[in-house]
Structure 1
């Protein structure tokens, strides 16, 4: 059912504060100014062995003014909800821009901040797709459901401990700029997670297995049967964990891989999502997690992967964690190609980078995680498209004589160019003559980005597609965190290098 913007947010003096700030910025000669007021409420619950282990409920409320003055950026933020305070914050932003312009000139640079054009979006309202707002569900009901899920796992043979958690977020945002765009938005998302732990009473060895249900831009209904089959997953985990405890260690070498969406989303995130952020590829984002091998001079030429590789950037996907109506620069959400038939054809942009590189309109990737932070270029929902007539996961496995089926994400490592990486998972199944033949342990797959995606022989059909993702993608200094989804089908890769993690660690 459709929802309305939270009335308590609309009761804030949104327009009056924006008018005061933008009028002051104009009066001081700003070429551009935007005002953003947001309220972000985050709540979490943790259980250990079905008993409460902690909870939190925090709200971040404030506003920010960003300006372009004299060809330089200026930014300031505040929490005082009065017109005079908003005007003062705008004045502080202009003062910062003036100081920045002096620093730029002293450095001998003639670079000026210019923004790509964007149509005016006047009086627009957008609300994400969800059924039941989790903040309207009593806390007792939330903890009771987590306790029930935990008890089911604890009641199974071999499960010694269970950690359960739930994180919920409601984000309200009001934006206005001197061009005339005014948007009001509301997003809801949540991340439920359970981890079962098994301990060998004789050897003392232990291992764990986590649910592979992804975080989602959904409401409370996600935990009660819409969008994920929790009953099926909770029933499977104890047996799979027991099998994992008995599994043999992998023999290092080259194997064909069938990678499940519950694992492949993270490889997409690290090796495609971050690598195609154009600020990173241009070197503007370097100190935090490096730059990118996918440099701007290779646009339209770089063979990113095989011809079955088609990747989109998308801020419109239903239930996507990075899905919005309008970004933090007033740009309407879009979907576009990043990799087409294996070739790099696009990047993720904000308005400044779009103008600087001559790429035309921004594709709406500006985001700030707090009213006290400046918007930076952040990741869209970057997704690998399925083959419309593609195979099922079972049929992809059926085409492998000697290989490994990879399920669930765990640890990862990638270099400062987003090029050389390794990933582990929750569980690994040996494939022999097209059939699963038990689990393996100590598995990591290692490759370079172009080698790995170049080895992709087949992508599965729409029936294998899952929208994975994370709440905690980090970028920028001071650090910011953003939630992002990555959809993908199962996929078949040939001849991938497999490491034995125990041997690599020298144990």
Structure 2
């Protein structure tokens, strides 16, 4: 296991210096994050490497609360003199904000922690030679293009790695060091025939894990299937539009529906209207807490910052709140939100559940979806069924794998989702592929129409590495572990 120190002692000294300066300025609260982010991305298109980027960004951000008003400033120069300047600037901004602020910010309490957290990994992804990584991608593409005679005309593959080194210190006594590793591989191809083009993709889910996640045998072993399904898809009939059907959704499709229709609507800053960019606010307002039948009674959604390998897993959030797990929807009822310290206090909670995250040293933390997943059906439960059993018990429906296009309205009520591959189910059997499928529904209507949930044995960690939010935009990542589900009587559309 790689155990690399997060920062040098000089960074710790800068953190302590900033905290003392914030106290001397008379602020009721303040914190500093000193961060280094390394991102390595490789992409191959057809038989050449089209992109190679290995970037490092390093700096610090200071956040202060003065008479109930926030101030924030940041710099890439990590020197004692610059810490003095940035703390003074953050305090000055807070004082200016205080002049026009109508409601003072108050924060939920947090314990003081002095701790270190490192993502458990076996192989440091940055220790693997670039040439070895590029060779893997080109091999995948070459094998995909081996199906050119059957219709595969384009191929791509990628590897993405991240390391975040962070020191957090606050006036409440916390001093936390964290190192987060992330790995993500995938590939896809496009088949062309009869004036149409259709793609098929495969990825190993983006997870917090080392290079051991780049399973060469698995990636190469999926090439024949992916190419074959792309070819079958381009020759498949289009799905009829304006029908209603039963859907059987694999975790690789369902995770995005969870993300958009459960994750974002329960971010408490969106609920309160603090954040409204990218289809943001929410229908799930506080008067519905504990009462709204968000989903069928056998549906449970749990947030979990502690999930092993989860993309949003860490020891502490970016406000120094200890990682934890909690239900957002329990027995179908909306029971909680995703909070930072500010929104938790407004909700009347004594503490935050640790959903604050910033994607860089120069951005402020905001409420972000942590790992948020659908819990499996209980063994022997009346609504628990394997994927095979769901198919066998479906007279007519559509099986969907992978993600495609999506849209959702400003309050997260009405949505449309596509997918990457579709199969028609008739009389309990898969009878062939379809293409151009979308499904449409209302958030609570959709989740209340779930009538079958997969067991623990079919639980999968799927998720995203590019969730955008805020202005200026911040990008976060999270896992939405889930199981297959069957949903009855959903509106289906297609390309006419």
TM-superposition CA deviations, 1:211-248 (whole Å, max 9, x none): 143212121111126xx932442231121111111111
Match of 1:73 among 70, 73, 77: 70
SS of residue in 1 equivalent to 2:184: strand
- Following superposition, which runs of at least 4 residues in structure 1 exceed 3 angstroms of deviation? none
Q: Distance in 2 between matches of 1:478 and 1:238?
A: 39
* Corresponding residue for residue 188 of structure 2: 195
Q: Distance in 2 between matches of 1:162 and 1:17?
A: 48
* Corresponding residue for residue 409 of structure 2: 415
Paired residues, number = 489
Q: In the alignment, is the contact (CA less than 8 A) between 2:157 and 2:188 conserved in 1? A: yes
* Corresponding residue for residue 427 of structure 2: 433
TM-score for the superposition, normalised by structure 1? 0.94
* Corresponding residue for residue 392 of structure 1: 386
Q: Following superposition of structure 1 onto structure 2, how do residues 59-208 of structure 1 map, counting pairs within 5 Å?
A: 59-104=56-101, 109=102, 111-122=103-114, 124-156=115-147, 157-200=150-193, 203-208=194-199
Q: In the alignment, is the contact (CA less than 8 A) between 1:62 and 1:78 conserved in 2? A: yes
Q: In the alignment, is the contact (CA less than 8 A) between 2:184 and 2:214 conserved in 1? A: no
SS of residue in 2 equivalent to 1:160: strand
TM-superposition CA deviations, 1:88-141 (whole Å, max 9, x none): 21111111110000021xxxx2x111111111112x010113221211110001
Alignment RMSD: 1.3
> How far has the Cα of 1:416 moved from its partner?
0.5
> How far has the Cα of 1:59 moved from its partner?
0.9
> How far has the Cα of 1:38 moved from its partner?
0.4
Asked if 1:362 is matched to 2:352, the reply is: yes
* Corresponding residue for residue 436 of structure 2: 442
Q: Distance in 2 between matches of 1:224 and 1:273?
A: 30
Q: In the alignment, is the contact (CA less than 8 A) between 1:50 and 1:146 conserved in 2? A: no
Q: In the alignment, is the contact (CA less than 8 A) between 1:20 and 1:84 conserved in 2? A: no
* Corresponding residue for residue 43 of structure 1: 40
Unaligned runs of 5+ in 2: none
TM-superposition CA deviations, 1:374-418 (whole Å, max 9, x none): 111111111000013232211111110000101000110100011
Asked if 1:345 is matched to 2:339, the reply is: no
TM-superposition CA deviations, 1:252-293 (whole Å, max 9, x none): 311111100000000000000000001101111124422001
Unaligned runs of 5+ in 1: none
* Corresponding residue for residue 446 of structure 2: 452
TM-score for the superposition, normalised by structure 2? 0.96
Match of 2:468 among 463, 474, 485: 474
SS of residue in 2 equivalent to 1:43: strand
SS of residue in 2 equivalent to 1:13: helix
Match of 1:22 among 19, 34, 46: 19
Q: In the alignment, is the contact (CA less than 8 A) between 2:7 and 2:165 conserved in 1? A: no
Q: In the alignment, is the contact (CA less than 8 A) between 1:158 and 1:238 conserved in 2? A: no
Q: Distance in 1 between matches of 2:170 and 2:344?
A: 19
Match of 2:372 among 379, 382, 403: 382
SS of residue in 2 equivalent to 1:374: coil
Match of 1:405 among 399, 405, 413: 399
Q: In the alignment, is the contact (CA less than 8 A) between 1:402 and 1:431 conserved in 2? A: yes
SS of residue in 2 equivalent to 1:487: coil
